[in-house]
Amino acid sequence: MSPIRRVVSKQLGELLIERGILKKKELEKALSIQKEKGGLLGNILVVLGYATEEQIAQAITVQYGFPYLPLANYDIDQSLITVIPENVAKQYCLIGIDKISNTLTIAMANPLNMQAVEDVELMTGCKVQAFVSTMTDINNAIKKNYQKKPKQ
């Protein structure tokens, strides 16, 4: 997979301020928490209640050009559930949503996680195309779809 290039050169916080979602002081607080404890800025902003998961996901789509896919009403192809093991789906917060030829489309909470993309490519032998979705949507889809999976 080729390196990810930004479509917009602005940082996530700048985009959220520009969109009126975040105030400068809120961003500063979130950045200081990130510096102290680590973690993804988007997750910190959600935990603090400064932004919703959807707002973060949509800002990432603007920033990097990944398409956004809300999964709440999306029917996932059940044949894909056996392609990515449940533990991998949970570990990387992703789920396979479609496969055409040798391209596997996945929804991920963090499409910048190149290790996750590479692992899925190695595991499946497919080229991965990533969409952005929220952690909540993906976790709900994992619960719903992996429960349906026939036991072997």
pTM exceeds 0.75, yes or no? yes
The DSSP bridge pattern shows strands 127-132 and 94-100 to be: unpaired
Which amino acid does the sequence have at 68? Y
pLDDT at 82: 86
Domain membership of residue 72 (yes or no) is no
Cite the DSSP H helix spans in 1-134: 12-18, 24-37, 41-47, 53-64, 86-92, 114-124
Q: Are residues 26 and 53 in the same domain?
A: yes
Domain membership of residue 27 (yes or no) is yes
Domain membership of residue 58 (yes or no) is yes
Q: Are residues 94 and 142 in the same domain?
A: yes
Q: What is the pLDDT of residues 29-74, one digit of tens each?
A: 999 999 999 888 888 999 999 999 999 988 888 888 889 988 988 8
Domain span holding position 34: 12-64
CATH number for position 102? 3.30.300.160
Number of domains in the chain: 2
Domain membership of residue 6 (yes or no) is no
